[in-house]
Chain A
Amino acid sequence: MDGNLNMIGYGLAAIGPGIGIGLIFAAYISGVARQPEAQSRLQSIAILGFALAEALAIIGIALAFVL
Chain B
Amino acid sequence: MTDALVAAFERRYPSGAIVRATLTQAVPGPRITVLFGPSGSGKTTILRCLAGLDAPQAGSIRFGSHTWFDATRHINLRPQQRGVGFLFQDYALFPHLTVAQNIGYGLHGAARVKRIEELLQILDLPEMGSRYPNEISAGQQQRVALARAIAPRPGLLLLDEPLSALDARTRETLRRELRQLLTQFQTPAVVVTHDPIEAVALADDAVILDQGRVLQSGTVQDVFSRPADPTVAHIVGIETVEPGEVISVAEGLAIVRVGKSELLAVASGSSPGPVYVCIRGEDVILERGHPEHTSARNQLPARILWLAPEGPLVRVGLECGFSLTALITRPASLQLALTPGQNVTALIKAPSIHLVGR
A binds B: no
Which A positions have Cβ atoms within 8 angstroms of B?
A: none
